[in-house]
Structure 1
Amino acid sequence: MLNKSIIEDVLNEALSTGGDFSEIFIEDRFTNNMTLHSGKLETSLSGRDFGIGVRVFKGLQSAYAYTTDFSREGLIKTAKNAAQAIKGNKIIQLSPFEPRTFNNQHPIEIIPQDVEKTRKLSVMKNAYDIAKSYHSSISQVNVRYSDEEQNVLIANSEGTFVEDTRIRSRMLIQAIATRDNQMETGYYGPGALQGFEFIENLNLEHYAREAARIAVTMLDASPCPSGKFPVIIDNEFGGVIFHEACGHGLEATAVAKKHSVFADRLGQQVAPEIVTYIDDGTLKNEWGSINIDDEGELSRKNVLIENGILKGYLIDKFNSRRMGMESTGSGRRESFRFAPTSRMTNTYIAPGKSSPEEIISNTENGIYTKYMGGGQVNTTTGDYNFAVMEAYEVKNGKLGKPLKGATLIGNGPKTLQKVDMVGNNLGHGAGMCGSQSGSIPVNVGQPMIRVSEITVGGSNE
């Protein structure tokens, strides 16, 4: 992507004012996005984004600069801009590059760039037809298709030199059901670190019908009651609560500055013994997976909480200095426009021993949340509130009527302590996570779990 001699010159220039570490991140990204609105192609956009970021450290100082000018002069200027934040004389020399190779754990069969748009549109129309024909109350279906190919090269003053190609594909299906003046929405958005084969092999009957079923079901839902209840949270995207309310608190971005309730608690019990919490970027072809992070470190499986005991954090290269701990392959960024920091990949609660049927039958009076919606969290305190897209009452160990307007309100670490049943049906859900290094693909996951008590905010109706 760039001549090695130019890369060496850039890294040397970044060290010229006394830095003790320099890094270059080179990115060449191709994207395709198509939107189908009410059965008609509304937008079709393709793009290419090329840029280079340069970073320099000195102790606990860090500076970052980026450019889209890949001439030697433009790159040297960018390195000088980063170096200006560091005051002093050059103190270290570059280590010889040691090109790193790895086994690609995420095979690609069909490069999306090679697929005609008509072929992509055909799958989108199939999803539309399935969702639209589900029920007469489905008034509108929107389908969005996206793919990207991200080529990166990462080199640093310690001798790291590594390249990777990441290819992702995703389809998002939104169904809207209407009756009289009432409107309800259902949504599903599967994605993978995979080529177009993922899209062609999607079980559209499942995903499109589920989006439509949620919308139609909620038309007949009753207002959700307010109060404190046992809450059953289903698998897959149900894991978004612990991603937001606990996962971010285990990132070094917060831990290193003591801005997390989990800071200085390694070895302590932070959850019941039935809870094991894992971040694993090596899961084959999963949406949040990576071969290497955006600092050139190999991805790995990081056990964060094991049988209730806090075992580790997600650590990037800069915060490893603050914490005196090694990087965990967790340095990620949206693009060359962002400096990396510690981020999640595929984060999930490991499966337990209870079946979903056992969890429901052992709940006398509570709320069952099948699909979660959006939410907000204060990462410093762990306080959260999340909308629920589809919920049901639980009475005498059986599912009852659907409920609408449910909101879960609580504190992540405290909610974690109240998990009293963990199912055996682990599932993952694809999403995008925003933080200080931009928006990145992540999976959230869990089996069905039960929390002994969560405050539920109900409908205003």
Structure 2
Amino acid sequence: MIKQSIIENVLEAALSTGGDFSEVFIEDKFVNSIELQSDKVEKSISGRDFGIGIRIFSGLQNVYTYTSDFTEEGLIEAAKRAALAISGGGNGIIHPLQKEIVQPIHTIAQLPQTVEHARKVAVMRKANEIAKSYDERIRQVGLRYVDEEQHVLIANSEGKFVEDQRVHSRLAIQSTAMDGGEMQSGFYGPGAHAGFEFIENLDLQHYAGEASRIAVTMLGADECPSGKFPVIIDNEFGGVIFHEACGHGLEATSVAKNNSVFANRIGEKVAPDIVTYIDDGTLPNEWGSLSIDDEGEKTRKNVLIENGILKGYMIDKFNARRMNTEATGSSRRQSYRFNPTSRMTNTYIAPGQSTPEEIISSTENGIYAKYMGGGQVNPATGDYNFAVAEAYLVKDGKIDRPLRGATLIGNGAKTLQMVDKVGNNLAHGAGMCGSVSGSLPVNVGQPMLRVSEITVGGTKGE
């Protein structure tokens, strides 16, 4: 991308006022997005984004700047301008850059940039037809196709010099059903760290059919009762509750500042023995995976909670300084415009011993959350409020009628402690996670599990 000699000069300029660490992040990204609504391609956008981020540490000072001027003069000027914010005292040394070879963990068969627009639209039209034909009450189907091809180069004053290629592909399907004056919607959005082969090989009957099935099912749903119930949360995207209410609390972004209920609790019992919580960026071709993080460190499998015991956090390079520990390959950013920090990749509750049938049959009166919707969480306290996209009443150990308007309300740390059943059917769901370093592709996952009690907000009293 840029000559190594220029990068070395930029790293040196960044340390000119006394910093003790400097870093350059170079990004070249290609993005394609297509939207199909009411059988027509409404929007098709292709773009390229190129830029450089420069970061400087001096003790616990952290300065970040970025530019799209990739001339040597422009880069050195940006580095020196950022260095002016450093209040000296450091003795930064530039170590010789040693190029590292990244061993790819993802198989990419078809780079999206090489695939014709018509082939992408053809898949969308097929999914559209499947979703529309599911039921006559499906009145509208919307699809969004996205692919990204990102090339990064990361170099720092400690001698790191590494390049990586990241490829993401996703197809999001939303169906809307109407009956009289009532309207309900269903959504499914599979994605992967993979090329166009992922899109062409999708089981569209399943994904498009599910989006429409959810919408139609919710048309006939009863109002959800309010109260405290045992709640069965299904696998895959059901893990979004623990991603939001627990995962963010295990990122050094909050832990290092003691803004987390999990801060300073390593070795403590924070969940039942049946709960093991993992963040693993090394899973091949998964949506949230990376070969290296955005500081150039290899990603890894980080066991955060093991058999109920808090074992570790997700830590980036700067917050490792705050915490006097080592980074865990967990640093991420949306683009060169963002200062990186600790973020999740593929975060999930490991499978347990119970079968889904056992979990349901042992629940006399509760709520079954098949698909989760959106929600809100306070990262400092873990308090959350999540909508359930598809819910059912569980009665006498059997799934009963569908329910609408279900909301789960609670505290992540407390909910974690009340997990009393963990299934054996682990699955992952693709989503986007927003935080201080931007919006990132992440997987959330879990097997089916049961929480002994959650406050359920509904549209009628218990």
Which range, TM-score by smaller chain? over 0.9
For each residue in 1:410-444, what CA deviation from the matched residue of structure 2 results, as whole angstroms up to 9, or x when unmatched? 00000000000000000000000000000000000
Question: Deviation at 1:89?
Answer: 6.4
Alignment of 1:272-291 (within 5 A): 272-291=272-291
Alignment of 1:312-461 (within 5 A): 312-459=312-459
Letter in 2 for 1:237: F
1:18–1:87 CA contact under 8 A, matched in 2: yes
Alignment of 1:65-76 (within 5 A): 65-76=65-76
1:189 match: 189
Letter in 1 for 2:278: I
1:16–1:89 CA contact under 8 A, matched in 2: no
Q: Does 1:106 align with 2:103?
A: no
Letter in 2 for 1:93: I
2-structure distance, mates of 1:442, 1:275: 21
Give ranges in structure 2 of 5+ residues lacking alignment: none
Alignment of 1:250-265 (within 5 A): 250-265=250-265
For each residue in 1:377-419, what CA deviation from the matched residue of structure 2 results, as whole angstroms up to 9, or x when unmatched? 0000000000000000000000000000000000000000000
2-structure distance, mates of 1:404, 1:81: 55
2-structure distance, mates of 1:323, 1:296: 20
Alignment of 1:176-215 (within 5 A): 176-215=176-215
Question: Deviation at 1:286?
Answer: 0.1
1-structure distance, mates of 2:375, 2:83: 39
Question: Deviation at 1:460?
Answer: 5.9
1-structure distance, mates of 2:139, 2:387: 23
1-structure distance, mates of 2:455, 2:392: 15
Alignment of 1:156-167 (within 5 A): 156-167=156-167
1:300 match: 300
1-structure distance, mates of 2:33, 2:70: 26
2-structure distance, mates of 1:114, 1:215: 35
2-structure distance, mates of 1:459, 1:11: 59
2-structure distance, mates of 1:79, 1:147: 32
1:56 match: 56
2-structure distance, mates of 1:305, 1:84: 42
Question: Deviation at 1:81?
Answer: 2.0
Give ranges in structure 1 of 5+ residues lacking alignment: none
Letter in 1 for 2:183: M
1-structure distance, mates of 2:89, 2:270: 46
Bigger mean CA offset, 77-86 vs 25-34: 77-86
For each residue in 1:251-298, what CA deviation from the matched residue of structure 2 results, as whole angstroms up to 9, or x when unmatched? 000000000000000000000000000000000100000000000000
1:242 match: 242
1:130–1:208 CA contact under 8 A, matched in 2: yes
Question: Deviation at 1:107?
Answer: 1.2
- 3-state DSSP of counterpart to 1:243: helix
Question: Deviation at 1:88?
Answer: 2.5
1-structure distance, mates of 2:107, 2:401: 44
| TM-score, normalised via structure 2 length | 0.99
2-structure distance, mates of 1:245, 1:153: 33
Alignment of 1:224-239 (within 5 A): 224-239=224-239
RMSD between aligned alpha carbons?
0.8
1-structure distance, mates of 2:89, 2:176: 63
Alignment of 1:57-136 (within 5 A): 57-88=57-88, 91-136=91-136
1:16–1:90 CA contact under 8 A, matched in 2: no
1-structure distance, mates of 2:265, 2:389: 34
1:405–1:460 CA contact under 8 A, matched in 2: no
- 3-state DSSP of counterpart to 1:63: strand
For each residue in 1:90-148, what CA deviation from the matched residue of structure 2 results, as whole angstroms up to 9, or x when unmatched? 62220111111131001100010000000000000000000000000000000110000
2-structure distance, mates of 1:213, 1:220: 12
2:217 match: 217
2:226–2:460 CA contact under 8 A, matched in 1: no
1:29 match: 29
Question: Deviation at 1:77?
Answer: 1.4
2-structure distance, mates of 1:375, 1:354: 28
Question: Deviation at 1:84?
Answer: 1.1
2-structure distance, mates of 1:447, 1:93: 48
Q: Which runs of 4+ in 1 moved over 4 A?
A: none
1-structure distance, mates of 2:115, 2:43: 17
- 3-state DSSP of counterpart to 2:120: helix
1:137 match: 137
Question: Among the aligned pairs, what percent are the same residue?
Answer: 70
2-structure distance, mates of 1:263, 1:346: 21
2-structure distance, mates of 1:140, 1:408: 28
Letter in 1 for 2:349: I
1-structure distance, mates of 2:261, 2:89: 40
1:152 match: 152
2-structure distance, mates of 1:324, 1:386: 35
